[in-house]
Amino acid sequence: MANFETVVVETDLLILGGGMAACGAAVEAAYWAKQNGLKVTLVDKAAMDRSGAVAMGLSAINQYVGLKDGANSVKDYVDYVRNDLMGVTREDLVANIARHVDSTVHLFEKWGLPIWKDEKGAYVHEGRWQLMINGESYKVIVAEAAKNALLQSGVGQIFERVFIVGPLMDGDRVAGAVGFSVRENKFYIFKAKATMATMGGAVHVFKPRSMGEGLGRAWYPPWNSGSSAYFTLKAGAEMTCQEVRFIPVRFKDAYGPVGAWFLLFKSRATNAMGGEYMVERRPELDNWGPYGRVKPIPANLRNYLGMLDLIEGKGPIFMRTEEAIQKIAEQYKDDPKAYKKKMKELESEAWEDFLDMTISQAILWAASNVEPETRSSEIAACEPYFIGSHSGASGAWVSGPADLQTAETKSEYFWGYDNMSTVKGLFCAGDASGASSHKFSSGSHAEGRITAKAAIKFIVENNTQPKVDQAEIDALKAAILKPMETFEAHKNATTDPEINPNYIKPRMFMFRLQKIMDEYAGGVSSQFMVNKAQLERALELLGLLKEDAANLAASNLHELMRCWENQHRMWQAEAHVRTMLFREETRWPGYYFRADTPKINDKDWLVFANCKCDPKTGNWEMIKRPIKHIFPQA
Ligand code: SFD
Ligand code: AMP
């Protein structure tokens, strides 16, 4: 495209994304880069102040271990995560984050984040690991610190509103990334000695429950579209846990969080008949091996018990907000003034929980006359998401820290630099790194710091600028901008630019992807059920979709971004389907259920299911990797 300027940026460390992991990376990288005379460049598709999952703010910090108070140990956290993921977790990665996460939380507080305190000045816990915050401006505060660190140290530069499409390679080493501005006709080539993929997880791979005007609404933010997975897959990196999607239960239709209700307010959830699935269905837990007996009950099993009620026609499921609020206030019933005050306080906490992180839920409550102190609200399982930082686990397979390996784990989990993928110089953190669940906002930031430090070490020890073939760059530029040419060439063939025999617009392409995934890969409409035949059909249809991706069309830069977002989603979808097909058991009922292999099978499948795609041939390889412990097991 002649009217696209090409901008070349040479740097040492390239940080892709501007979310929690990237902000952590920026702070740490600035420090180590200055000491070593290196340059750092951060690229975000949006504006860092409000980009990524924390855009609307959050009402809790979900990972705080409390090592200083001796409340918990690193091993306690590792046990919690392994149990919640039905035995499948990289203990070395989880422990590495757990031992550093508290210092990240203390930094947040220093930078101005209000964390709730009790009368004695101690943090108010939502649950064992979760702290309550006034977090409407959480992302603004964290981004400000990252920007200050990069810009004031003089080592860094930041590009906002530049969408990263894919990697640049020098043989088996990553050499940077390519992308384009979503505001100006500029094509970007970033050349770097090490690259960090921190572009979050993926939403809208599956058909959402919302439709029409509400379509953009999902629990996870619609602007995280699988760019991390695409980037690492295209670089040839090994991926892990691609089958471990996350399905949260949320307040229905506006996706408000449930954590504060279950943990802080101690609310019950009951079905249409008043039955409590967590009590009535307890015997079902015995079918899920040792994981049915752990505390807390794994998130997917909690989901599953509720889903069984729905399958039997006992829905809707209600969060009993009115009962929970009354129960807490009852303790004050002998003193009418104190009772009134407590009721007001609880009411405002209930609203603030949503106003701090899912404002649309508060709007829905207001619009539908819900007073949580007098009336229950429906909750429902969301559509599936890919998020390695919450209770899902999908992401790249990365090296663990040297000092936490045992003689047993070292050969499997360690290859030199913390959080480096199997591709030389390509590092991953946050949602982009797999098998290290439950890091959330704080752990993602901590993992970003760990990873940036390791990436700088890699640069110091491999201090050469990788070579990039100009022909490869030219080919990438042509392919990336092609949807705009396609549109220009064919736009007059029909009167409605949305419908054209020569091209497909990204919105329609997304609907097609979502329909395939919803119907054949266990979405909402198929009650999260899959079997071999369905998954094979999904792969066949995804193959046809991939062919048609060559005919995507964009009428402007915004649509060009949409084209590539949906290509990214499609690759995430394929990795997911292939891995569900590979794992011949059901391990995470409540996330997905393989009806043809309906039982958990620890003997054959207590392993990581990994995959990779050869960038040259496009052939996929499925790999089993062993689960090994770094702490002695009881
Ligand atoms: O409870 C490109 N999360 C919660 N964590 C908590 O600690 N407490 C909570 O209360 C949390 N809750 C919650 C959470 C998330 C959401 C969506 C809701 C509620 C409604 C989880 C955390 O938010 C999550 O773990 C971290 O944010 C993960 O960090 P990271 O860095 O992996 O992802 P990111 O922050 O979304 O940032 C992604 C960045 O990448 C950019 N990007 N840039 C360039 N090119 C591309 N192609 C790109 N694609 C994406 C994005 O713009 C962004 O900057 S609770 O309800 O669960
Ligand atoms: P959520 O709002 O569902 O994202 O939950 C916030 C935090 O609370 C996460 O750490 C969840 O794992 C945890 N959580 C939510 N519900 C429960 C529950 N019923 N039991 C135990 N932990 C929960």
By annotation, the residues acting in catalysis are: 62, 126, 219, 250, 353, 390, 441
DSSP designation for 316: P
Q: How confident is the model at residue 214 (pLDDT cuts 50, 70, 90)?
A: confident
Least confident range from 55-59, 92-96, 213-217, 430-434: namely 213-217
**pLDDT value for 632:** 84
Q: Identify the nearest ligand to the CA of 389 by its number.
A: 1
Residue 617 pLDDT > 70, yes or no? yes
The DSSP bridge partners found for residue 628 are none
Tell me the HSE value of 555 on the side-chain side, using a 13 A CA sphere: 11
Q: Considering only CA atoms, which residue is closest to atom 53 of ligand 1?
A: 52
Instruction: For 172-182, write each residue's pLDDT tens digit.
Output: 999 999 999 99
**pLDDT value for 628:** 98
Query: Order of strands, edge to edge, in the sheet holding 162-170?
Result: 5-10, 186-191, 173-181, 162-170
CA of 332 to the centre of ligand 2 (A): 27
Protein residues with CB under 6 Å of any ligand 2 atom = 62, 127, 130, 248, 257-259, 262-263, 296, 299, 302, 391
How many Å apart are CA 582 and CA 289, to the nearest integer? Answer: 21
Burial of 229 (C-beta count, 10 Å sphere; 0-12/13-18/19+): buried
Q: Taking the mean position of all CA atoms in its chain, how far away is CA 41?
A: 23
Residue 424 pLDDT > 80, yes or no? yes
Residue 388 pLDDT > 70, yes or no? yes
Q: How confident is the model at residue 215 (pLDDT cuts 50, 70, 90)?
A: confident
Instruction: For 119-132, write each residue's pLDDT tens digit.
Output: 999 999 999 999 99
Token pair for 261? 């209700």
Residue 634 pLDDT > 80, yes or no? no
Beta carbons of 350 and 220 less than 8 angstroms apart: no
- Percent residues over pLDDT 70 in the chain: 100
Q: Which domains does the chain have, with CATH numbers?
A: 5-55+139-245+386-461 (3.50.50.60), 249-381 (3.90.700.10), 470-605+613-626 (1.20.58.100)
Mean pLDDT to the nearest integer, 491-516: 97
Average pLDDT along the chain: 97
How many Å apart are CA 534 and CA 453, to the nearest integer? Answer: 44
Beta carbons of 333 and 343 less than 8 angstroms apart: no
CA of 72 to the centre of ligand 2 (A): 18
**pLDDT value for 554:** 98
Residue 1 pLDDT > 90, yes or no? no
How many Å apart are CA 131 and CA 30, to the nearest integer? Answer: 28
Q: How confident is the model at residue 500 (pLDDT cuts 50, 70, 90)?
A: very high
Residue 149 pLDDT > 80, yes or no? yes
Q: Considering only CA atoms, which residue is closest to atom 47 of ligand 1?
A: 164
**pLDDT value for 2:** 59
Helix, strand, or coil (residue 615): coil
**pLDDT value for 630:** 97
CA of 22 to the centre of ligand 1 (A): 10
Mean pLDDT to the nearest integer, 622-634: 93
